Amino acid sequence: MPARCALLLVAVLLSGCGYVGEPLPPTLDIPRPVADLRVAQVEDKAQLDFTIPELTTEGLPVVLRKVELLAGPYADDNFDADRWAGSARALGPIPLRAGPVHLEIEVGEWVGKEVFFRVRLVGRKGRPSEWSEFKTLRIVPPLAAPAELGAETTAEGVRLWWNGPSEPAGVEFRLLRSAKDQPEQELAVTTEREWLDRTVRYEETYSYRVQSLFRRQGAQAVSRASTPVKITPVDRFAPLTPRGISALAAPASIELSWDQNTEPDLAGYIIYRADGEKPFAPLAKCATPAYSDQQVQPGQLYRYAVSAFDQAGNESNRSEAVEVALP
């Protein structure tokens, strides 16, 4: 009986145990490399941006021991990455967590030099990722910011003008614009010192700023932005005066026609009539460049002119007059 109980107990214990497989090898915990290192000069600083990946090369959540971000010039013609790393400056501190990284560093000591940048990540077990690709940046003297930015509404849009530096040769200007529900974004880049923004809408408020920009000989430098200027365009601009008006007498009407206006906000036309030598008076409105006047009398001389008006109610000058008599 005791032996039978012992066997039963062993069977119960064995039935409750799961299968134990081969032990898993230890994880390497090597971070994935940085793939989006970006560098640019803003005034007297270099701005560096990159993203620390969330996973290791084995697809596990990354845990970092450190971030190695190096920067420095290299004088020899034959570039050697190891020799450069030995003299490069380590930048930081950098947060040891996945996600975007933004860093600004002083670069005054490197003006006139080509500077190399590189980054790699070291995992919790001390194993490093591959280095990122090199990024290079030629450091130039800080650019002067544009000044005296002005804005005015014209019939074609908002005209902007400013005073900007002429040095170094090749300097450009970046226009930035924001609106009520639109974050600031680049509007245009130009070498001129004025710009016409044709994409505005009337009665909406816009804010503009301008930066100096230099992108030659390995440099990527921008100045601080100018003082912003705000403007709310208001439509006070009438359409062009209609042209090509003609009047033909029909058996019981006078048929008018003219060239069509092409303004995008055109609302229609106003027909003016004068009986004989009497003054002109509004006769009718129409949306197309033609009108049939059927309120006419045989033998009476009539004079006609046409104006155009837009959706804001701005009216053009009257066209040249034409005259016709109904037989």
pLDDT tens readout for residues 208-259: 999 999 999 899 999 999 999 999 999 999 999 999 999 999 999 999 999 9
* Domain membership flag for residue 238: no
Looking at 204, 231, 258, which one is the last position of a domain?
231
Is-cis flag, bond preceding 168, omega within 30? yes
Residue 184, domain CATH: 2.60.40.10
Q: What is the pLDDT of residue 269?
A: 98
How many domains does the chain divide into? 3
* Domain membership flag for residue 308: yes
**H-run or E-run covering 12:** helix 2-15
Instruction: For residue 273, give the amino acid letter.
Output: R
Looking at 115, 138, 161, which one is the last position of a domain?
138
Low-confidence stretches of the chain (pLDDT beneath 50)? 1, 5, 7-14
Q: What is the pLDDT of residue 21?
A: 62
Instruction: Spell out the residues 6+ positions from residue 326 whose beta carbon is closer than 8 angstroms to its own.
Output: 249, 254, 296, 297, 298, 299, 300, 302
* Domain membership flag for residue 29: no
**226 and 290 co-located in one domain:** no
How far is it, in rounded angstroms, from Cα 118 to Cα 214? 23
**278 and 198 co-located in one domain:** no
The distance from CA 291 to its chain's CA centroid, rounded to whole angstroms, is 46
The residue length of the chain stands at 327
Q: What is the pLDDT of residue 185?
A: 96
Structure tokens at 4: 């039978």
Domain that holds residue 201: 147-231
**55 and 108 co-located in one domain:** yes
* Domain membership flag for residue 11: no
Residue whose entry in the numeric block shows the structure tokens 């932005």: 225
* Domain membership flag for residue 314: yes
Residue whose entry in the numeric block shows the structure tokens 């490093």: 128
**102 and 45 co-located in one domain:** yes
* Domain membership flag for residue 97: yes
**92 and 152 co-located in one domain:** no
* Of 49, 54, 51, nearest in space to 35 by CA: 51
* Domain membership flag for residue 24: no
Distances (CA, A) of 190 to 146, 173, 200, 210, 320: 13, 5, 18, 10, 42
* Domain membership flag for residue 7: no
Report if pTM > 0.85: no
Q: What is the pLDDT of residue 1?
A: 46
**47 and 127 co-located in one domain:** yes
Q: What is the pLDDT of residue 10?
A: 43
| DSSP annotation of 126 | S
